[in-house]
Amino acid sequence: MLDLKLRKMYSVSIMQRRDFIKLGFAVGAGFSLKTLSGLFPVAYADEVPASTGTPALVAVRGGDRVAMLDAALAALGGIAAFVKPGQSVVIKPNCGWDKGPELSANTHPSLVGHMVKLCKQAGASKVVVFDHTCDNWQLSYRNSGIQDAVEAAGGEMISGADESLYRDHDNPAARNLKHAKVHSAILDSDVFINMPVLKHHGGARMTACMKNAMGLVWDRGFFHSHDLHQCIADSVLLRRADLNVLDAYAPMLRNGPKGKDANDLIHTQALLAGTDIVAVDAAASKLLGNADGDVRHIDLAASMGLGEKDLTKVNIRRISLA
């Protein structure tokens, strides 16, 4: 967990690399997964034997977002491992805020647009993208840059603000969220790709892959009135994502989920991807400097058998593009 005294002494915008290392971080071109104590319990890069088989989690650093996404997908077997010709695809980014892409309140449009392009190249019959936004949905779609990127790549942005597009759905294995109205695109599409951005969240501690599922349902208020963390864990069961891709290029370290300005960001230049949503979120939590147990919905999801939170037990592929 971040030392509060240090947070008061230094702003993210003026911290030097040595200060981030003390906190378990690194910044800019000097970022290395080796310095993120607790994120990866073993050394990084050439000192680590390459993992065998298909990894459950891929951690990429360096390069631009699109290059990192391509590298992560290659390690996971390529887009063809997830999307077959003729299948319909729904992509759920974090697109909840009327903010520009430079502030990391939403998933970066370059990632979402590139994923749409890859799905179309794989032969997807249809690729739709939506979020149940907090700000005005039309402004959020447009000003985040996601709508333009999706449409340029041949995808379709659909509304998340129309209740008629949500259907009653039972969730019997859940502990609290046993019933919800879920967006029909999630229920009907052949492939579900979860693409959030990593950031601080005042209520849930952080936004990552599991928290992104709140945008699948119509009544988000239920989460806040029935144990937010348990409902976040339960929401994974509404529809298991076939692929999780987490934009961790410039995570919001404070003032989430909306943020204030660029001083809220830390430039880790990273991307996490995988099929184990709990492992991806556990790694993301470390990236934000959280200690084990700080993000309760990770522990709850692991206790429900939804994934592995202990990264020492996860098949991780580490890739450096720097």
- The pLDDT tens digits for 91-134 are 999 999 999 888 888 999 999 999 999 999 999 999 999 999 99
Phi, psi of 85 (to 5 degrees): -55, 135
Q: What is the mean pLDDT of residues 71-93?
A: 98
Contacts of 162 (CB under 8 A, 6+ apart): none
To the nearest whole percent, how much of the chain has pLDDT over 90? Answer: 70
Is the pLDDT at 253 greater than 90? The verdict is: no
The answer to whether the beta carbons of residues 183 and 216 sit under 8 Å apart is: yes
Instruction: Dump pLDDT digits (tens) for 162-171.
Output: 999 999 999 9
Is the pLDDT at 196 greater than 80? The verdict is: yes
Report the 3 state secondary structure along the chain.
CCCHHHHHHCCCCCCCHHHHHHCCCCCHHHCCHHHCCCCCCCCCHHHCCCCCCCCCEEEEECCCHHHHHHHHHHHCCCHHHCCCCCCEEEEEECCCCCCCHHHCCCCCHHHHHHHHHHHHHCCCCEEEECCCCCCCHHHHHHHCCHHHHHHHCCCEECCCCCHHHEEEEECCCCCCCCEEEEEHHHHHCCEEEEECEEEEECCCEEECCCHHHHHHECCCHHHHHCCHHHHHHHHHHHCCCCEEEEEEEEEECCCCCCCCCHHHECCCCEEEEECCHHHHHHHHHHHCCCCCCCCHHHHHHHHCCCCCCCHHHCCEEEEECC
Q: Which fold has domain 55-320?
A: Rossmann fold (3.40.50)
pLDDT at 55: 96
Is the pLDDT at 6 greater than 70? The verdict is: no
pLDDT at 267: 86
33-47, 52-66, 73-87 — which is least confidently predicted?
33-47
Whole-prediction pTM: 0.86
Closest CA to 130 of 88, 158, 163, 110: 158
As given in the structure block, the two tokens for residue 269 are 């230049």
Q: What is the mean pLDDT of residues 242-263?
A: 86
Cα(308)–Cα(295) distance, integer angstroms: 14
Closest CA to 173 of 240, 91, 243, 244: 240
- Only one residue has tokens 């430079």, namely 102
Q: What is the mean pLDDT of residues 262-290?
A: 92
